[in-house]
Amino acid sequence: YADIAMYNAKADGRDNFSFFTQSLNTKIHNEVDIINDMQRAFYDNEFKLYYQPKVDAKSKKIVGAEALLRWIHHEKGLIGPDVFIPISESTGFMLSLGKFVIQESSLAIRRFSDLGYNGLKVSINISTRQFQNTDLYQDLKEELSKNDVDPKQLGIEITESIMMQHIKKTLTTLQEIKNLGVSIYIDDFGTGYSSLSYLKKFPIDTLKIDKSFVDDISEVGNNDEILLNTILAMGKSLGLDVVAEGVEHEYQYSYLKEHGCEIIQGYYFAKPMPEEEFIKLLHEEHL
């Protein structure tokens, strides 16, 4: 087949084959560069947590935030998690980053509480590898108690795929974490495979509806919201809270509020921001 591909490329008058290998090489080089640079960046404190407000739909008050990793590179500027999380996950560096996120979020919650915001809930994302290869329960417990943080102020966001792997062990871990007082969110809900019976069996507090379902809300009323409505109904009947993520427009916000979604996260209210900016926003009381 390689021969045929070469032949076609040549017949085309272009050297597609060498073009392909060259771009693959560039990609591998970039990844090696990033991997090496990540270690340095970690010790140079270039990784930071940004906070995106979660807003109560009715009062428009900030009730919490999602902590999201950013790499503030001294030369390249801001690098988003879509660039460095997949590489970190494949090299194991994610375990260091994951631990860092637990430490930093605990410290931040401590600071928020000291400013009087002790009802605020902060959620952190947990990668598959971190969930499976670390003692998450122990790590959370240690950091929370070290910083004298009320576990009720912390939540973890996991995906459906984490939930559906090594089911027995996952269930045990989640139960321990839940007993500690930490909340459990299912992230990007609706994009993976999780059976209804597991949703019931697992100690889940909140479904985070994936942005793709929020995008189905149409401005003109085309009734494209069937899946969204199903998820909202499912949350209600299972007694789970529902957060919508990726809300960008007023009409999406209105629709969600009118259909019983209580908590909203998205650019419509605010983008992820550095801690100082988030604190300023908290002082403003509501959005």
Where does this chain bind ligand C2E (CB under 6 A)? Answer: 52, 68-69, 80-82, 85, 101, 125-127, 157, 187-188, 245-248, 265-267, 272
Tokens found for residue 136: 């998450």
Please compute, for residue 61, the number of CA atoms within 13 A of its CA located in the half-sphere on the CB side.
8
Rounded to a whole number of angstroms, the minimum distance from the CB of residue 245 to Mg ion is 5
Give the nearer residue to ligand C2E in terms of CB position, either 31 or 248.
248
Tokens found for residue 174: 């989640």
Tokens found for residue 239: 């007694």
In the complex, the residues that contact Mg ion under the rule CB under 5 A are 125, 157, 187-188
H/E segment holding residue 86 = helix 81-91
Tokens found for residue 34: 């990033």
Rounded to a whole number of angstroms, the minimum distance from the CB of residue 272 to Mg ion is 11
Indicate the residue type of 141.
K
Give the Cα separation of 157 and 105 in Å (integer): 13
Give the Cα separation of 211 and 189 in Å (integer): 9
Give the nearer residue to ligand C2E in terms of CB position, either 12 or 82.
82
Rounded to a whole number of angstroms, the minimum distance from the CB of residue 157 to Mg ion is 4
By a kind-dependent CB cut-off of 5 to 8 A, residue 272 interacts, out of Mg ion, ligand C2E, none, with ligand C2E
Rounded to a whole number of angstroms, the minimum distance from the CB of residue 12 to Mg ion is 38
By a kind-dependent CB cut-off of 5 to 8 A, residue 69 interacts, out of Mg ion, ligand C2E, none, with ligand C2E
Cross-strand bridge partners of residue 185: 157, 206
Rounded to a whole number of angstroms, the minimum distance from the CB of residue 11 to ligand C2E is 42
By a kind-dependent CB cut-off of 5 to 8 A, residue 164 interacts, out of ligand C2E, Mg ion, none, with none
Q: How much helix, strand and coil, in percent to the nearest 5, is found in the chain? A: 50, 20, 30
By a kind-dependent CB cut-off of 5 to 8 A, residue 3 interacts, out of ligand C2E, Mg ion, none, with none
Rounded to a whole number of angstroms, the minimum distance from the CB of residue 98 to ligand C2E is 6
Give the nearer residue to Mg ion in terms of CB position, either 80 or 119.
80
By a kind-dependent CB cut-off of 5 to 8 A, residue 267 interacts, out of ligand C2E, Mg ion, none, with ligand C2E
Measuring CA to CA, how many Å separate 96 from each of 27, 77, 82, 127, 205? 24, 22, 17, 12, 27
Q: Choose among 114, 161, 106, 168: nearest CA to 139.
A: 106
Give the nearer residue to ligand C2E in terms of CB position, either 126 or 281.
126
